[in-house]
Amino acid sequence: MKRRPSLAPRKVQPRGSGFKSLAHERGDDPLGHLLMARYVDAHCEWLAVTGYAEDTVRTRRRALRTFVAWAHERGLTDPREITKPILERYQRHLYYYRKEDGSPLVPGTQVNLLRALKTFFKWATRENHILYNPASELDTPRVHRRLPRHILTVAEVAAILNEAHGADAASLRDRALLELLYSTGLRRKEAANLTRGSIDFIRQVVFVKEGKGGRDRVVPLGSRAAAWLEKYLYEARPQLTVHDATALFVTDYGDPISGPYVATRVKRAMALAGIERPGAAHLLRHACATHMLEGGADIRFIQALLGHANLNTTEIYTHVSIEQLKIIHAATHPARLQRRQATPAQPDGASPRLPDSNAAQALLEVLDDEADQDADPSR
Protein backbone atom coordinates (compact mmCIF):
# COMPACT_ATOMS: atom_id res chain seq x y z
CA MET A 1 0.00 0.00 0.00
CA LYS A 2 1.21 3.45 -0.86
CA ARG A 3 2.23 5.35 2.24
CA ARG A 4 -0.34 7.98 3.09
CA PRO A 5 1.20 11.46 3.01
CA SER A 6 1.07 13.60 6.11
CA LEU A 7 -1.58 16.28 5.98
CA ALA A 8 -0.73 19.19 8.22
CA PRO A 9 -3.74 20.85 9.85
CA ARG A 10 -4.82 24.09 8.25
CA LYS A 11 -6.91 26.96 9.48
CA VAL A 12 -10.29 26.81 7.78
CA GLN A 13 -12.80 29.63 7.58
CA PRO A 14 -15.94 28.94 9.62
CA ARG A 15 -19.12 28.63 7.60
CA GLY A 16 -22.66 28.49 8.85
CA SER A 17 -25.11 25.64 8.47
CA GLY A 18 -28.67 24.74 9.30
CA PHE A 19 -27.47 21.77 11.37
CA LYS A 20 -27.19 22.12 15.13
CA SER A 21 -24.31 19.65 15.01
CA LEU A 22 -22.30 22.18 13.04
CA ALA A 23 -22.33 24.82 15.74
CA HIS A 24 -18.60 24.17 16.01
CA GLU A 25 -18.14 26.08 12.77
CA ARG A 26 -18.97 29.33 14.49
CA GLY A 27 -15.79 30.73 15.94
CA ASP A 28 -12.69 28.56 16.40
CA ASP A 29 -12.70 25.19 14.69
CA PRO A 30 -12.39 22.44 17.33
CA LEU A 31 -12.48 19.73 14.64
CA GLY A 32 -9.62 21.06 12.57
CA HIS A 33 -7.13 18.77 14.28
CA LEU A 34 -9.02 15.62 13.34
CA LEU A 35 -7.48 13.44 10.66
CA MET A 36 -10.75 13.16 8.76
CA ALA A 37 -11.19 16.94 8.76
CA ARG A 38 -7.73 17.37 7.26
CA TYR A 39 -8.57 14.89 4.52
CA VAL A 40 -11.74 16.86 3.84
CA ASP A 41 -9.63 20.00 3.39
CA ALA A 42 -7.32 18.13 1.00
CA HIS A 43 -10.29 16.79 -0.94
CA CYS A 44 -11.87 20.24 -1.27
CA GLU A 45 -8.55 21.60 -2.46
CA TRP A 46 -8.52 18.86 -5.10
CA LEU A 47 -12.05 19.84 -6.16
CA ALA A 48 -10.96 23.45 -6.63
CA VAL A 49 -7.77 22.54 -8.49
CA THR A 50 -9.63 20.24 -10.88
CA GLY A 51 -12.07 22.98 -11.88
CA TYR A 52 -15.12 22.61 -9.65
CA ALA A 53 -17.03 25.84 -9.15
CA GLU A 54 -16.46 27.82 -5.96
CA ASP A 55 -20.07 27.32 -4.87
CA THR A 56 -19.78 23.57 -5.43
CA VAL A 57 -16.59 23.36 -3.37
CA ARG A 58 -18.18 25.35 -0.55
CA THR A 59 -21.31 23.18 -0.57
CA ARG A 60 -19.29 19.95 -0.60
CA ARG A 61 -17.10 21.18 2.27
CA ARG A 62 -20.12 21.94 4.41
CA ALA A 63 -21.70 18.57 3.61
CA LEU A 64 -18.50 16.72 4.52
CA ARG A 65 -17.99 18.75 7.69
CA THR A 66 -21.50 17.73 8.72
CA PHE A 67 -20.43 14.08 8.48
CA VAL A 68 -17.14 14.77 10.27
CA ALA A 69 -19.06 16.29 13.21
CA TRP A 70 -21.49 13.34 13.29
CA ALA A 71 -18.64 10.80 13.17
CA HIS A 72 -16.64 12.65 15.85
CA GLU A 73 -19.60 12.44 18.23
CA ARG A 74 -19.33 8.65 17.85
CA GLY A 75 -15.57 8.46 18.31
CA LEU A 76 -14.77 8.08 14.59
CA THR A 77 -11.95 10.37 13.47
CA ASP A 78 -10.08 8.36 10.81
CA PRO A 79 -11.46 7.67 7.28
CA ARG A 80 -10.13 4.11 7.58
CA GLU A 81 -12.63 3.49 10.37
CA ILE A 82 -15.61 4.21 8.16
CA THR A 83 -17.53 1.22 6.79
CA LYS A 84 -20.67 0.83 4.75
CA PRO A 85 -22.82 0.03 7.84
CA ILE A 86 -21.58 3.25 9.45
CA LEU A 87 -22.56 5.22 6.36
CA GLU A 88 -25.96 3.56 6.40
CA ARG A 89 -26.36 4.65 10.04
CA TYR A 90 -25.55 8.20 8.96
CA GLN A 91 -28.08 7.92 6.16
CA ARG A 92 -30.76 6.94 8.68
CA HIS A 93 -29.66 9.86 10.86
CA LEU A 94 -30.31 12.23 7.96
CA TYR A 95 -33.71 10.66 7.34
CA TYR A 96 -34.86 11.09 10.95
CA TYR A 97 -33.17 14.45 11.52
CA ARG A 98 -35.54 17.35 12.29
CA LYS A 99 -34.70 21.00 11.88
CA GLU A 100 -35.53 23.65 14.48
CA ASP A 101 -39.00 24.12 13.01
CA GLY A 102 -39.66 20.37 13.24
CA SER A 103 -39.51 19.74 9.50
CA PRO A 104 -37.36 16.92 8.03
CA LEU A 105 -34.61 17.27 5.47
CA VAL A 106 -36.08 17.08 1.98
CA PRO A 107 -34.87 14.09 -0.07
CA GLY A 108 -32.88 16.38 -2.35
CA THR A 109 -30.86 17.68 0.61
CA GLN A 110 -30.22 14.16 1.85
CA VAL A 111 -29.04 13.12 -1.60
CA ASN A 112 -26.64 16.07 -1.83
CA LEU A 113 -25.13 15.28 1.57
CA LEU A 114 -24.62 11.64 0.64
CA ARG A 115 -23.27 12.39 -2.83
CA ALA A 116 -20.56 14.53 -1.29
CA LEU A 117 -19.54 11.50 0.80
CA LYS A 118 -19.50 9.19 -2.22
CA THR A 119 -17.21 11.59 -4.08
CA PHE A 120 -14.98 12.02 -1.05
CA PHE A 121 -14.45 8.31 -0.42
CA LYS A 122 -13.97 7.63 -4.12
CA TRP A 123 -11.20 10.25 -4.13
CA ALA A 124 -9.66 8.89 -0.92
CA THR A 125 -9.56 5.38 -2.39
CA ARG A 126 -8.06 6.49 -5.67
CA GLU A 127 -5.37 8.46 -3.82
CA ASN A 128 -4.59 5.37 -1.68
CA HIS A 129 -5.52 7.12 1.56
CA ILE A 130 -7.86 4.21 2.34
CA LEU A 131 -7.85 0.60 1.14
CA TYR A 132 -11.41 0.39 -0.16
CA ASN A 133 -14.37 2.65 -0.84
CA PRO A 134 -17.08 2.13 1.82
CA ALA A 135 -19.53 4.33 -0.11
CA SER A 136 -19.25 2.56 -3.47
CA GLU A 137 -22.49 0.60 -2.98
CA LEU A 138 -24.33 3.14 -0.82
CA ASP A 139 -27.83 3.71 -2.22
CA THR A 140 -29.01 7.32 -2.14
CA PRO A 141 -32.67 8.18 -1.46
CA ARG A 142 -35.02 8.31 -4.39
CA VAL A 143 -36.13 11.85 -5.12
CA HIS A 144 -39.76 11.74 -6.14
CA ARG A 145 -41.00 13.92 -8.93
CA ARG A 146 -43.07 16.88 -7.88
CA LEU A 147 -44.84 19.71 -9.57
CA PRO A 148 -43.66 23.29 -8.98
CA ARG A 149 -45.00 24.69 -5.75
CA HIS A 150 -45.23 28.41 -6.49
CA ILE A 151 -45.87 29.88 -9.92
CA LEU A 152 -46.39 33.57 -10.54
CA THR A 153 -49.07 34.53 -13.04
CA VAL A 154 -48.45 37.10 -15.77
CA ALA A 155 -50.57 39.58 -13.80
CA GLU A 156 -48.57 38.99 -10.62
CA VAL A 157 -45.29 39.50 -12.47
CA ALA A 158 -46.65 42.73 -13.93
CA ALA A 159 -47.61 43.92 -10.45
CA ILE A 160 -44.10 43.17 -9.16
CA LEU A 161 -42.44 44.99 -12.05
CA ASN A 162 -44.71 48.01 -11.71
CA GLU A 163 -43.68 48.52 -8.07
CA ALA A 164 -40.34 49.90 -9.32
CA HIS A 165 -42.07 52.91 -10.82
CA GLY A 166 -40.14 55.88 -9.45
CA ALA A 167 -38.05 58.26 -11.54
CA ASP A 168 -35.07 58.22 -9.17
CA ALA A 169 -31.88 56.30 -9.98
CA ALA A 170 -32.56 53.44 -7.53
CA SER A 171 -36.06 52.82 -8.90
CA LEU A 172 -34.83 52.80 -12.50
CA ARG A 173 -32.09 50.35 -11.55
CA ASP A 174 -34.56 48.06 -9.80
CA ARG A 175 -37.00 48.15 -12.73
CA ALA A 176 -34.23 47.34 -15.21
CA LEU A 177 -33.02 44.49 -12.97
CA LEU A 178 -36.52 43.02 -12.57
CA GLU A 179 -37.23 43.27 -16.29
CA LEU A 180 -33.91 41.59 -17.06
CA LEU A 181 -34.59 38.69 -14.67
CA TYR A 182 -38.04 38.05 -16.08
CA SER A 183 -37.02 38.43 -19.72
CA THR A 184 -33.90 36.26 -19.64
CA GLY A 185 -34.56 33.82 -16.79
CA LEU A 186 -31.08 34.46 -15.38
CA ARG A 187 -30.10 33.13 -11.98
CA ARG A 188 -29.54 35.83 -9.39
CA LYS A 189 -25.78 35.29 -9.31
CA GLU A 190 -25.60 35.38 -13.12
CA ALA A 191 -27.41 38.72 -13.12
CA ALA A 192 -25.12 40.08 -10.40
CA ASN A 193 -22.01 39.11 -12.39
CA LEU A 194 -23.05 40.92 -15.57
CA THR A 195 -20.84 43.71 -16.85
CA ARG A 196 -21.71 46.60 -19.13
CA GLY A 197 -20.10 44.66 -21.96
CA SER A 198 -22.46 41.73 -21.33
CA ILE A 199 -25.33 43.54 -23.06
CA ASP A 200 -25.47 43.81 -26.84
CA PHE A 201 -28.27 46.25 -27.61
CA ILE A 202 -27.82 45.95 -31.35
CA ARG A 203 -28.41 42.19 -31.40
CA GLN A 204 -30.53 42.35 -28.22
CA VAL A 205 -28.72 39.54 -26.48
CA VAL A 206 -27.03 39.01 -23.12
CA PHE A 207 -23.68 37.25 -22.79
CA VAL A 208 -23.67 35.15 -19.61
CA LYS A 209 -20.09 34.31 -18.67
CA GLU A 210 -19.40 31.30 -16.47
CA GLY A 211 -22.93 30.53 -15.44
CA LYS A 212 -23.76 27.48 -13.36
CA GLY A 213 -21.30 24.72 -14.12
CA GLY A 214 -18.83 27.26 -15.54
CA ARG A 215 -20.69 27.33 -18.88
CA ASP A 216 -21.01 30.44 -21.02
CA ARG A 217 -24.17 31.10 -23.01
CA VAL A 218 -25.95 33.78 -25.01
CA VAL A 219 -29.62 34.51 -24.31
CA PRO A 220 -32.15 36.82 -25.97
CA LEU A 221 -33.01 40.14 -24.35
CA GLY A 222 -36.65 41.10 -24.79
CA SER A 223 -37.42 44.48 -26.31
CA ARG A 224 -39.07 45.80 -23.15
CA ALA A 225 -36.18 44.72 -20.93
CA ALA A 226 -33.73 46.27 -23.41
CA ALA A 227 -35.60 49.58 -23.27
CA TRP A 228 -35.47 49.68 -19.47
CA LEU A 229 -31.80 48.72 -19.43
CA GLU A 230 -30.94 51.54 -21.83
CA LYS A 231 -32.91 53.99 -19.70
CA TYR A 232 -31.07 52.80 -16.59
CA LEU A 233 -27.62 52.99 -18.21
CA TYR A 234 -28.08 56.48 -19.67
CA GLU A 235 -30.21 58.13 -16.99
CA ALA A 236 -29.76 56.33 -13.68
CA ARG A 237 -26.35 54.74 -13.53
CA PRO A 238 -24.45 58.04 -13.99
CA GLN A 239 -26.24 59.35 -10.89
CA LEU A 240 -24.94 56.51 -8.74
CA THR A 241 -21.47 56.62 -7.24
CA VAL A 242 -19.69 53.89 -9.17
CA HIS A 243 -16.67 52.13 -7.66
CA ASP A 244 -16.49 49.50 -10.41
CA ALA A 245 -16.81 50.94 -13.91
CA THR A 246 -17.39 47.51 -15.46
CA ALA A 247 -20.31 46.31 -13.30
CA LEU A 248 -23.71 46.55 -14.98
CA PHE A 249 -25.71 46.98 -11.79
CA VAL A 250 -24.43 48.81 -8.70
CA THR A 251 -25.89 49.43 -5.26
CA ASP A 252 -26.93 52.81 -3.88
CA TYR A 253 -23.36 53.11 -2.59
CA GLY A 254 -21.74 52.34 -5.93
CA ASP A 255 -20.58 48.79 -5.23
CA PRO A 256 -21.29 45.91 -7.63
CA ILE A 257 -24.44 44.07 -6.60
CA SER A 258 -24.33 40.49 -5.25
CA GLY A 259 -26.68 37.54 -5.55
CA PRO A 260 -28.28 38.18 -2.13
CA TYR A 261 -28.71 41.85 -3.07
CA VAL A 262 -30.67 40.81 -6.16
CA ALA A 263 -32.92 38.70 -3.93
CA THR A 264 -33.59 41.61 -1.56
CA ARG A 265 -34.68 43.89 -4.41
CA VAL A 266 -37.07 41.26 -5.76
CA LYS A 267 -38.48 40.58 -2.28
CA ARG A 268 -38.99 44.30 -1.75
CA ALA A 269 -40.98 44.62 -4.98
CA MET A 270 -43.02 41.54 -4.10
CA ALA A 271 -43.84 42.94 -0.67
CA LEU A 272 -44.93 46.27 -2.14
CA ALA A 273 -47.13 44.40 -4.63
CA GLY A 274 -48.71 42.41 -1.80
CA ILE A 275 -47.54 39.07 -3.21
CA GLU A 276 -46.44 36.52 -0.63
CA ARG A 277 -44.48 33.60 -2.04
CA PRO A 278 -41.43 31.73 -0.73
CA GLY A 279 -38.40 32.69 -2.77
CA ALA A 280 -37.42 35.76 -4.73
CA ALA A 281 -35.31 35.99 -7.89
CA HIS A 282 -35.91 32.37 -8.78
CA LEU A 283 -39.65 33.03 -8.96
CA LEU A 284 -39.03 35.31 -11.95
CA ARG A 285 -36.79 32.68 -13.57
CA HIS A 286 -39.53 30.13 -13.02
CA ALA A 287 -42.18 32.51 -14.36
CA CYS A 288 -40.13 33.17 -17.49
CA ALA A 289 -39.95 29.45 -18.31
CA THR A 290 -43.56 28.71 -17.37
CA HIS A 291 -45.06 31.57 -19.36
CA MET A 292 -43.02 30.73 -22.44
CA LEU A 293 -44.11 27.09 -22.15
CA GLU A 294 -47.71 28.24 -21.93
CA GLY A 295 -47.08 30.38 -25.00
CA GLY A 296 -46.06 27.31 -26.99
CA ALA A 297 -42.26 27.45 -26.82
CA ASP A 298 -40.45 24.21 -27.59
CA ILE A 299 -38.84 22.67 -24.52
CA ARG A 300 -35.43 22.67 -26.23
CA PHE A 301 -35.45 26.46 -26.52
CA ILE A 302 -36.38 26.86 -22.86
CA GLN A 303 -33.47 24.61 -21.89
CA ALA A 304 -31.08 26.69 -23.99
CA LEU A 305 -32.42 29.92 -22.49
CA LEU A 306 -32.05 28.72 -18.89
CA GLY A 307 -28.61 27.18 -19.40
CA HIS A 308 -29.53 23.56 -18.69
CA ALA A 309 -27.03 21.32 -20.44
CA ASN A 310 -29.51 18.48 -20.01
CA LEU A 311 -32.39 17.36 -17.88
CA ASN A 312 -31.92 14.16 -15.92
CA THR A 313 -35.44 13.03 -16.72
CA THR A 314 -35.29 13.74 -20.44
CA GLU A 315 -32.81 13.36 -23.26
CA ILE A 316 -34.21 15.89 -25.68
CA TYR A 317 -31.52 18.55 -25.65
CA THR A 318 -30.23 19.69 -29.03
CA HIS A 319 -28.07 22.64 -29.97
CA VAL A 320 -30.10 25.76 -30.69
CA SER A 321 -28.72 28.81 -32.48
CA ILE A 322 -29.16 32.22 -30.89
CA GLU A 323 -31.18 33.47 -33.88
CA GLN A 324 -33.68 30.63 -33.56
CA LEU A 325 -33.85 31.23 -29.82
CA LYS A 326 -34.54 34.95 -30.35
CA ILE A 327 -37.44 34.13 -32.68
CA ILE A 328 -39.01 31.75 -30.16
CA HIS A 329 -38.42 34.22 -27.31
CA ALA A 330 -40.13 37.04 -29.23
CA ALA A 331 -43.05 34.80 -30.11
CA THR A 332 -43.74 33.32 -26.68
CA HIS A 333 -42.51 35.65 -23.93
CA PRO A 334 -45.35 37.90 -22.70
CA ALA A 335 -43.11 40.88 -21.82
CA ARG A 336 -42.62 42.89 -24.99
CA LEU A 337 -43.29 46.46 -25.99
CA GLN A 338 -46.08 45.63 -28.44
CA ARG A 339 -48.01 42.41 -28.88
CA ARG A 340 -47.73 41.20 -32.43
CA GLN A 341 -50.90 40.35 -34.32
CA ALA A 342 -49.15 37.60 -36.23
CA THR A 343 -46.74 35.07 -34.81
CA PRO A 344 -43.19 35.41 -36.18
CA ALA A 345 -42.07 32.71 -38.56
CA GLN A 346 -40.70 29.68 -36.84
CA PRO A 347 -37.53 27.78 -37.72
CA ASP A 348 -38.07 25.45 -40.67
CA GLY A 349 -41.48 27.01 -41.22
CA ALA A 350 -42.99 25.24 -38.23
CA SER A 351 -45.66 26.91 -36.14
CA PRO A 352 -45.48 27.09 -32.36
CA ARG A 353 -46.65 23.90 -30.70
CA LEU A 354 -47.48 22.93 -27.19
CA PRO A 355 -44.54 21.26 -25.47
CA ASP A 356 -44.58 17.60 -24.59
CA SER A 357 -46.24 17.41 -21.16
CA ASN A 358 -43.67 15.04 -19.68
CA ALA A 359 -40.76 17.15 -20.90
CA ALA A 360 -42.41 20.35 -19.68
CA GLN A 361 -43.06 18.82 -16.26
CA ALA A 362 -39.47 17.64 -16.09
CA LEU A 363 -38.22 21.14 -16.83
CA LEU A 364 -40.42 22.71 -14.16
CA GLU A 365 -39.33 20.09 -11.62
CA VAL A 366 -35.70 20.94 -12.29
CA LEU A 367 -36.52 24.62 -11.79
CA ASP A 368 -38.20 23.81 -8.49
CA ASP A 369 -35.14 21.86 -7.34
CA GLU A 370 -33.02 24.88 -8.30
CA ALA A 371 -35.25 27.02 -6.11
CA ASP A 372 -34.31 24.89 -3.08
CA GLN A 373 -30.62 25.49 -3.86
CA ASP A 374 -31.31 29.18 -4.45
CA ALA A 375 -32.68 29.46 -0.92
CA ASP A 376 -29.17 28.84 0.44
CA PRO A 377 -28.32 32.21 2.05
CA SER A 378 -24.61 31.75 1.44
CA ARG A 379 -24.99 31.78 -2.33
Say how far apart CA 2 and CA 235 lie, in whole Å: 65
Say how far apart CA 313 and CA 361 lie, in whole Å: 10
Catalytic residue among 58, 62, 173, 212: 212
- Please say if 285 is a catalytic residue: yes
Say how far apart CA 27 and CA 14 lie, in whole Å: 7
Kindly report the backbone phi and psi dihedral angles of residue 250, in degrees, each rounded to the nearest multiple of 5, phi listed first: -130, 155
Say how far apart CA 68 and CA 37 lie, in whole Å: 7
Q: What is the torsional sign of CA 254, 259, 261, 262? A: positive
Catalytic residue among 286, 308, 329, 333: 308
- Please say if 308 is a catalytic residue: yes
Q: What is the torsional sign of CA 207, 186, 307, 330? A: negative
Say how far apart CA 56 and CA 193 lie, in whole Å: 17
Cβ-proximal residues to 55 (8 Å cutoff; 6+ apart), any chain: 189, 379
Amino acid making up residue 322: I
Catalytic residue among 60, 189, 285, 300: 285
- Please say if 333 is a catalytic residue: no
- Please say if 282 is a catalytic residue: yes
159: Cα separation from own chain's centroid: 25
Catalytic residue among 43, 58, 175, 187: 187
Say how far apart CA 176 and CA 231 lie, in whole Å: 8
Catalytic residue among 146, 150, 209, 317: 317
- Please say if 317 is a catalytic residue: yes
Catalytic residue among 43, 60, 282, 329: 282
- Please say if 20 is a catalytic residue: no
**Residues assigned a catalytic role:** 187, 212, 282, 285, 308, 317
